[in-house]
């Protein structure tokens, strides 16, 4: 099926950290899930004689609305069960993370709930969350396991992530194995690494369930030596390296990420200047996850403190259960003075550099040959894409060329979008 999107407002073709390439109105030809043509207004309709019904081209008049690329969430913990909302009050009453864990809360509580859940239940939870992500403009998700910790449950979480990838109008998914998310109850760090190396990594590889390995590298969780041992073994087996580093303390995670050639090292709230420089020199992306410090009452870090490439992601998890990239970006725009264009680059072209799609398609920009993942805003200007926290700025999202209209669930027709121009 061919679709021509026309009568647009701004069309952001590509946002980079230094520039937003934008057309003031464009027609987009989409077919087979791919962007096939981008022209000045009116050109494609006449070229394809698209008003002739026998051509069977769907014309979608978006009545002046802006169009931007689909957003890429390059760090999520998408699949887990349970609810830890009550821990907010405990934290506010002065309990530390460790105090809460000692009272049966924290990650082990999520692990218990997740191990108890059936695969069908987890799949339903994951699909519901993925559809929320689409409503906030996300068309590709990096999804980590990590709330099972034992081999059986970790494999289950990775299978659930795989079941979403490419399904209907849900985002595409990159699967990351995060067996080293925490030390299981009753284990030492050494026991855990041995179990991960001897049992879990071979099982993940044998079933082809992940393209990357992640480690929670932080003093008190996994130290430098343990993280390095697991990550080197993973890299030798062809898995990409992604890392959680220096969230609460500077534990030297940034330097390790640089020495291992990690694709991305995320959080980095406490990474020192030498570590930041080493990551930039080694081409390691810094993943800023502003929703988590916001929810934990910790200061955000100015994203310009990364010396090289950086991205913004949601870090969706039980302590930060938000899948809204416009919200995550707004935190840095409104609290750290980041420009909306820089923020857009961080969730599109820059994020595309750190994640891979199983279908191999290009993403993060609107260009001929790229996947037809894009967002239609409520207004004619792209600039408000991260200026309405608590509300999705998007009226519709196209996933692989199929429209999801967030107001009415309709697929394309010429009268889906009410006229916002007052004409
Ligand atoms: Zn995380």
What are the tens digits of pLDDT across the range 165-219? 988 899 999 999 999 999 998 999 999 999 999 999 999 999 999 999 999 999 9
Tokens linked to 185: 């109850």
Give residue 416's pLDDT band: very low, low, confident or very high (50, 70, 90).
low
Please check whether residue 79 is in contact with residue 122, taking contact to mean a CB–CB distance below 8 angstroms.
yes
250 C-alpha vs ligand 1 centroid, how far in Å? 16
Say if residue 423's pLDDT is above 80: no
344 C-alpha vs ligand 1 centroid, how far in Å? 21
Contacts of the segment 19-22: beta carbons below 8 A, 24+ positions apart: 19/341, 20/341, 20/344, 20/345, 20/382, 22/382
242 C-alpha vs ligand 1 centroid, how far in Å? 10
335 C-alpha vs ligand 1 centroid, how far in Å? 21
Strands 402-405 and 394-399: antiparallel
76 C-alpha vs ligand 1 centroid, how far in Å? 6
| pLDDT for position 419 | 73
CA 172 to chain centre: 10
Tokens linked to 272: 């020192």
Strands 10-16 and 19-24: antiparallel
315 C-alpha vs ligand 1 centroid, how far in Å? 5
Say if residue 101's pLDDT is above 90: no
pLDDT above 90 as % of the chain: 90
Domains and CATH numbers, the chain: 2-69+364-405 (2.30.40.10), 71-352 (3.20.20.140)
Strands 67-69 and 71-76: unpaired
This prediction has a pTM of 0.96
What residue has token string 């001897």?
A: 198
CA distance 413 to 135: 19
Say if residue 104's pLDDT is above 90: no
Say if residue 413's pLDDT is above 60: no
CA distance 204 to 198: 11
Mean pLDDT of the chain: 94
């Amino acid at each position: 099926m061919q679709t021509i999107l026309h009568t647009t407002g701004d069309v952001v073709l590509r946002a980079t950290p230094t520039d937003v390439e934008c057309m003031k109105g464009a027609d987009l030809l989409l077919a087979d899930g791919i962007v096939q043509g981008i022209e000045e207004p009116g050109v494609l309709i006449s070229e394809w004689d698209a008003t002739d019904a026998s051509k069977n081209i769907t014309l979608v008049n978006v009545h002046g609305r802006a169009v931007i690329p689909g957003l890429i969430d390059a760090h999520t913990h998408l699949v887990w069960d349970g609810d830890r909302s009550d821990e907010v009050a405990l934290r506010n009453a002065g309990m530390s993370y460790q105090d809460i864990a000692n009272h049966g809360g924290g990650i082990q509580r999520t692990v218990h709930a997740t191990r108890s859940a059936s695969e069908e239940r987890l799949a339903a939870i994951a699909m519901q969350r993925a559809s929320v992500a689409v409503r906030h403009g996300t068309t590709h998700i990096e999804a980590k396991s990590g709330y099972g910790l034992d081999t059986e449950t970790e494999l289950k979480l990775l299978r659930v992530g795989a079941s979403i990838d490419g399904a209907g109008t849900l985002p595409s998914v990159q699967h990351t194995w995060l067996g080293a998310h925490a030390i299981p109850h009753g284990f030492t760090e050494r026991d855990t690494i041995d179990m991960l190396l001897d049992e879990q990594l071979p099982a993940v590889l044998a079933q082809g369930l992940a393209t990357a390995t992640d480690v929670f590298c932080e003093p008190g969780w996994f130290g430098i030596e343990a993280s390095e041992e697991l990550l080197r073994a993973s890299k030798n087996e062809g898995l990409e390296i992604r890392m959680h580093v220096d969230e609460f303390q500077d534990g030297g995670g940034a330097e390790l990420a640089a020495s291992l050639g990690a694709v991305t090292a995320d959080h980095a709230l406490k990474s020192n200047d030498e570590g930041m420089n080493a990551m930039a020199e080694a081409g390691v992306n810094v993943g800023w996850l502003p929703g988590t410090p916001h929810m934990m009452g910790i200061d955000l870090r100015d994203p310009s403190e990364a010396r090289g490439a950086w991205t913004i992601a949601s870090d969706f998890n039980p302590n930060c259960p938000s899948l809204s990239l416009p919200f995550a970006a707004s935190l840095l725009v409104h609290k750290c003075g980041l420009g909306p264009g820089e923020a857009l680059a961080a969730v599109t072209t820059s994020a595309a550099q750190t994640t891979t799609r199983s279908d191999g398609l290009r993403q993060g920009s609107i260009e001929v040959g790229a996947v037809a993942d894009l967002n239609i805003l409520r207004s004619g200007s792209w600039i408000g894409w991260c200026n309405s926290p608590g509300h999705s700025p998007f009226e519709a999202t196209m996933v692989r060329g199929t429209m999801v209209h967030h107001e009415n669930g309709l697929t394309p027709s010429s009268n889906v979008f009410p006229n916002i121009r007052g004409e």
